[in-house]
Structure 1
Amino acid sequence: MLWRSAQGLLLILGVGFAVVSGLVANALMAPLGVSGVLLTSLSAGFAAMICFIGLIVLRYAAVQFRDEPDQHRFFWRLVATLSAILVTAVADHFLLFWLGWVTVSLTLHRLLLFYPDRPRAILAAHKKFIFARIAETLLAVVLLTLYWHFDIVRISALGQLAHNHVSHLLALLLVTVAAMKCAQLPVHGWLLQVVEAPTAVSALLHAGIINLGGYLLLQFTPLLAPAEAARWLLAVVAGISMLVAASVTMTRISVKVRLAWSTVAQMALMLVEISLGYYALAMLHLVAHSCYKAHAFLMAGSVVEQHERQKFAQVGLPKFQSLLLGASVALVLVVMTVALVDKAFYLAPWFAVGMALALWLASEVEQLSWRYAIRTLGNAAAWLLLYSLGVWGLNHLLPSPASQNYLIGIDVWICLVLVAIASVYFWLLYHPHQALGHRLFIALNAGLYLDEWATRLTLRMWPLRSRGAAPKFVLENKS
């Protein structure tokens, strides 16, 4: 009965938030605000997405914990976490936003330790606890400084902020908070080890909670947009994280660990989009990633799913002629789309779209033969049209960003990162048995040993005392 009641309430709230978001976005009603809460098109839309993810996770957990003696304890911890996320999503007052942010971390910590006899889950929760406290302290510094220097206590009032060296420093701190929340390198290790938690918790974490870092930056765009140093920091950290995480993902076999590394890479890509000023694209990425990752984690136990992933990993690289054809067609489609929909042109996002489209087209031609070329071309055009419509629609949901300069350096940097990712991918497929390819595979499979370094550092800062657990488990890095 409790599970059904919670699902019904989330369904009602989700529909309500979605309706409000649509009405506000189309100027059919003003944003709704009361007692530190404000429903804008962005906040209501994000809350609607959380309700949708929460509904799916609750339905899954109701079945998974049907015969568990501690199902009520898990239920209330899960509901508390969902409630905290929703409060954070709709909060407008700084104090309410910060309290919701902290509560999300604390309630998630209890979910991660639901099975206290799993050493890797204990280690993951311990590292996350330390990083979360650091991020919350930095966020508190940002909010208190905004109040002290600019007499601002509401997110909706950030538009009147006077931009100077103080606000730019705050933007740097804000970027640091978002990067830590999104598990960017080198504080990513805890996200790889929370797969020891119940599957419902992993799904909620990867589909909802991890997105709060991106949502934070979208809410604080008036502070971030004019701060070029902060945007550079965001692009560099997220770019390196995307390169390493995407490369490591290619070497992993375990479904859940592969998905965890994929989350790091996807969050990095979303942060890159924000650094470029593509806020609508970042929101579209956030929504799409949430839905995909919730489905992927909840289906991770399927043998068929694992088999299909293994088959995909063994697909050979298309021939050079197919790659050339795919790149040519992708170039034409991307240029046409850019001419129609993109007014503030950056090369990097379209370069990424073109690379992915070229590889997909090449694979289609290689596997299905030339007679499927017209159908493949139609599919590619349809996907680009769907993407363009999604960005166009979300442009109405997001507030108009503050004016910001085109930073060609960031654009070039992200293009180089994308080229590096493609180079690693091609090298591992073309030359897996050569000495360099073999050493590269081993290093990437170990995550470049970054998590071991971060683990040692955190355990020196705050030693872990686990009952009945051997000390050696803290540095294990199983795949």
Structure 2
Amino acid sequence: MLLVVPMYLSSMFFLLGGSIICLLMSLVCLMSGQAWFIEWELLSINSCSVVMTLILDWMSFMFLGFVMFISSMVLYYSGEYMSGDENMNRFMYLVLGFVMSMAFLIISPNLISILLGWDGLGLVSYVLVIYYQNEKSANAGMLTALSNRVGDVAILLGISLFFSCGGWNFLFYSTDLPGSKSLGLLCGLVVMAGMTKSAQIPFSAWLPAAMAAPTPVSALVHSSTLVTAGVYLLIRFSIILESSEAQVLLLLLSSLTMFMAGLGANFEYDLKKIIALSTLSQLGVMMSILSLGYPDLAFFHLLAHALFKALLFMCAGSVIHSVKDYQDIRMMGGLVYHMPLTSMCMNLANLALCGTPFLAGFYSKDMVLEVAFMSPINQASFLLYVLATGLTVCYTMRLVYYSLSGDFNLGNLYLVSDNASIMTNPMICLSGGAVFGGAALSWLIFPCPYMICMSVSFKTLALTVSFVGGVIGYALNLGAVNYRLISLKEYSKTVFVGSMWFMPFLSTQGMSEKLLKSGNMLQKVGDSGWSEYYGGQGIYKVMTGNSSYLQVLQDNSMKVYMLSFLLWVIVLFFIVS
């Protein structure tokens, strides 16, 4: 009898095996200090070699291991979450294509080969966002795709700038660039590409909109794949960034993103969008510490954040799956009595996110904050750091208050439980990562600890601000009636803060009314108008007309020979006379 293994199980085991191999290879590279660089030439243009390049060092192996581990858990989790879907195998193939694109991006130190993984992520993310075929998903998918195209164009322009270096392997040529004239432009393009993929201001609107995708996709996209691609690209380009003026702009915009996302999450009621805004805030933390010149710290926080954020999305998916597919946190409440295992994992992920001591988030986030406070940053960035740290705990307490504690608000006909072991097993595995992952990573990545010299007040500032934020968040929502009345009284300010500073509006209606209409006019008048008349179509008409005359001459017609003979006779007559 032939044993048929479900696709979610086979793909889970395949990715889990790959993850173990990659993590072991990462340990080998860390212990020996070795790295493998593989390239083969595809073609040569004007002495510039277009080569296919792979880099296999401790960083790429470790990130690849984490991506594969989280993807294996997500695919196993999808076996239950997507069980009612008719096209479940199609969904699995799309997720595997997403993982493959991310793997290609991770191991490519070449701008041309990076573009393949970069565009692959953009394409598959669009298909996954519009997976539920309705108008809202279509709009969200188009916003995601168009926002990411800006970064794709920046990468293409960067490829053309790198042409003057003789190749596109930026790890080799980045040491030659600091003295070149094109450094500022190249840095600006790379920073723009990283900002679009990691959704920094002003490209932040697509990240909450991408929540239209199925929840397992959100767990993968918002933890270790799509949104971290921009951070990873800038980590690889950190040598060029160190001597660039783009660092100051990146620091300011990432700090603003941190603050804006934390503030917006306190006014949001959609469970998935709250966690998406939380991801956006943490991406701002990674980008800001990267702009201060600490790429290793940004990578550390990226990996630690991936573990507990994937867990948080899985818990949210488990809750949504149980409570009749509602996503409004006001329709939940009291879930701790009905879903104790999910509630425990969700609280664990939330505590790790807030930087609770000795969980995964504490080791990375606390070190990031201390190094940032110790660095010579401006007062605006320092203030935004402090406020964003407090707001993180504030919206986390609000989320716990509405969804896990209090009275059950869903109604009488319900069946809310933790019975689906296919969904709870991967959550338990990732809970181990949320508890032990930060400590293990800090021992591996930083064998020699940072020397941090700070006063007692600065040292305890992060924990103090977190505690104050938690108290404020719980107190405001405990007196929720007064809080809502104040929100209604200051309605215009509430709408501004809760709508991400009108960024979704500016990225959709604002763009379509001005830029897209003018672009359509330019396309009609320019590309399809005068440039066609004097360009391709005009040249085509002239060439086809002349070739028809040549064809007549080549037809060996007697009339043509007689006519040409008479013309020659007339010409000779005039010459002789």
Q: Which residue of 1 aligns with 2:298?
A: 282
Whether the 8 Å CA contact 2:35–2:55 is kept in 1: the answer is no
Cα distance in structure 2, aligned partners of 1:145 and 1:4: 45
Q: Aligned equivalents of 1:295 and 1:86: distance in 2? A: 21
Task: Supply the AA of the counterpart residue of 2:375.
Answer: Y
Pick from 51, 55, 69 the counterpart of residue 38 of structure 1: 55
Identify unmatched segments of 5+ residues in structure 1. 311-333, 361-382, 398-414, 464-479
Q: For residues 254 and 342 of structure 1, what CA distance do their matches in structure 2 show? A: 34
Please point out which of 499, 502, 510 is paired with 1:446: 499
Whole-Å separation in 2 of the counterparts to 1:216 and 1:291? 20
In the alignment, the residues of structure 2 paired with residue 450 and residue 119 of structure 1 have an alpha-carbon distance, to the nearest angstrom, of 20
Matched residue, 2:143: 127
Quick one: which amino acid aligns to residue 83 of structure 2? R
Query: In the aligned structure 1, how far is the partner of 2:499 from the partner of 2:110?
Result: 43
CA gap 1:395/1:143 in 2 versus in 1, 3 angstroms: farther
Does residue 294 of the first structure (1) align with residue 304 of the second (2)?
no
Question: Structure 2 regions of 5+ residues with no counterpart?
Answer: 41-52, 324-328, 337-362, 394-433, 449-461, 518-577
Q: Which amino acid aligns with 1:212?
A: A
Partner of 2:191: 175
* Separation of aligned partners in 1, 2:259 and 2:114: 32
Q: Hey, what does 2:445 align to over in structure 1? A: 394
Aligned counterpart in structure 2 of residue 161 of structure 1, from 160, 176, 182: 176
Aligned with 2:119 (options 90, 102, 109): 102
The aligned residue for residue 474 of structure 1 is: none
Q: Which whole-Å deviations, capped at 9, do the CAs of 1:423-459 have from their partners, x for residues lacking one?
A: xx78994994668984543432233322112111343
CA distance in 2, matches of 1:426, 1:4: 41
CA–CA distance in structure 2, aligned partners of residues 387 and 346 of structure 1 = 23
- Aligned partner of 1:475 in structure 2 is none
The structural deviation recorded for 1:179 is 0.9
Q: Secondary structure at the match of 2:38?
A: strand
Q: Following TM superposition, by how much is the alpha carbon of 1:66 offset from its aligned partner in structure 2, in angstroms?
A: 2.7
**Corresponding residue SS for 1:33:** strand
Q: Which amino acid aligns with 2:36?
A: P
Equivalent AA in structure 2 for residue 446 of structure 1? S
Query: Which aligned runs of 4 or more in structure 1 are off by greater than 6 angstroms?
Result: 341-344, 347-351, 385-389, 425-428
User: How far is 1:217 from its partner?
Assistant: 0.4
Given that residues 427 and 437 in structure 1 are in contact (C-alpha distance below 8 angstroms), is that contact kept between their aligned partners in structure 2? no
Aligned to 1:9: 14
Go from structure 1 to structure 2 and tell me whether the alpha carbon gap of 1:234 and 1:144 turns closer, same or farther (over 3 Å shift): same
Q: Give, in angstroms, the shift of residue 204 of structure 1.
A: 1.5
Question: Are residues 71 and 389 of structure 1, via their aligned partners in 2, closer, same or farther at CA, if it must alter by over 3 Å?
Answer: closer
Cα offset, 1:136, TM superposition: 0.5
1:457 counterpart = 2:513: no
Question: For 1:230 and 1:77, how far apart are their aligned partners in 2?
Answer: 36
Could you give the per-residue CA deviations for residues 114-161 of structure 1, whole angstroms, max 9, x where no partner exists?
Answer: 122x22211111011111222111112113312x22223214314532
1:297-345 CA-to-partner distances (Å, cap 9, x unmatched) read 11114279964799xxxxxxxxxxxxxxxxxxxxxxx9xx99xx97994
The answer on 1:26 being equivalent to 2:79 is no
Residues 280 and 391, structure 1, Cα contact 8 Å, conserved in 2 = no
- Which of 70, 76, 87 aligns to 1:70? It is 87
Whole-angstrom distance in 2 between the partners of 1:246 and 1:11:
34
With 342-351 and 231-240 compared, the bigger mean Cα shift is at 342-351
TM-score between the two structures when normalised by the length of structure 2: 0.60
> Whole-Å Cα distance in 1 between the matches of residues 88 and 150 of structure 2?
32
Look up the match of 1:51. 68
Say whether the 8 Å CA contact 1:120–1:194 is kept in structure 2: no
Q: CA deviation at 1:34?
A: 4.8
Relative to structure 1, the CA distance from residue 69 to residue 14 in structure 2 (aligned partners, 3 Å threshold; closer, same or farther) is same
- Which deviates the most, 96-105 or 163-172? 163-172
Q: Distance in 1 between matches of 2:88 and 2:474?
A: 48
1:215 is matched with: 232
In the other structure, the counterpart of 1:194 is: 210
2: distance between equivalents of 1:60 and 1:244?
32
1:86 counterpart residue number: 103
1:165-222 deviation per Cα after TM superposition (whole angstroms, max 9, x unaligned): 4112211111111111111223222221222221111111111211111001011111
CA distance in 2 between partners of 1:427 and 1:46 (Å): 36
How many Å separate the matches in 1 of 2:169 and 2:11? 30
Read off the aligned partner of 1:293 and give its amino acid letter: K
Residues 124 and 191 in structure 1, CA contact (< 8 A), matched pair in contact too: no
Equivalent residues of 1:31, 1:41 under 8 A apart: no
Q: Is the 8 A contact 2:259 2:387 kept in 1?
A: no
By relative contact order (CA 8 Å, sep 6+), the higher-ranking structure is 1
Per the alignment, residue 265 of structure 1 pairs with 281
In the alignment, does 2:151 pair up with 1:151?
no
* Contact 1:124/1:190, CA 8 A, preserved across alignment: yes
Aligned counterparts, 1:223-234, within 5 A: 223-227=240-244, 229-234=245-250
Instruction: Specify the alignment match of 2:155 in structure 1.
Output: 139
2:427 is matched with none
Equivalent residue, structure 2, for 1:370: none
State the one-letter code of the partner of 2:444.
G
- How high is the TM-score relative to the length of structure 1? 0.72
- C-alpha displacement at 1:390, in angstroms? 4.4
Shift of 1:58: 0.6
Q: 1:267 to 1:344 in 2, by over 3 A?
A: closer
In 1, distance between residues paired with 2:373 and 2:209? 40
Distance change >3 Å, CA 435–CA 154, structure 1 → 2: closer
Quote the Cα distance in structure 1 between the aligned partners of 2:206 and 2:382: 32
Compute the displacement of 1:25 (Å).
2.0
Distance in 1 of aligned mates of 2:309 and 2:114: 25
Q: 1:162 to 1:442 in 2, by over 3 A?
A: closer
Whether contact under 8 Å (1:158, 1:222) holds in the other structure is no
Contact 2:18 2:65 (8 Å CA) reproduced: yes
The separation in 2 between residues aligned to 1:80 and 1:151, in whole angstroms, is: 32
Distance 1:342 1:244 in 2: 22
Distance 1:150 1:120 in 2: 45
Counterpart code for 1:457:
G
Aligned-residue RMSD, C-alpha = 4.1
Q: Which residue is 1:346 aligned to?
A: 375
Secondary structure at 2:190's aligned position in 1? helix
Count the aligned residue pairs: 395
One-letter identity of the residue aligned with 1:188: S
Amino acid at match of 1:459: S
Paired with 1:90 and 1:70, the residues of 2 have a C-alpha distance of: 31
Aligned equivalents of 1:133, 1:354: Cα separation in 2: 32
Q: 1:29 to 1:151 in 2, by over 3 A?
A: same
Q: 1:24 to 1:309 in 2, by over 3 A?
A: farther
Aligned counterparts of 2:208 and 2:504: Cα–Cα separation in 1: 9
Contact 2:63 2:106 in 1 (8 A): yes
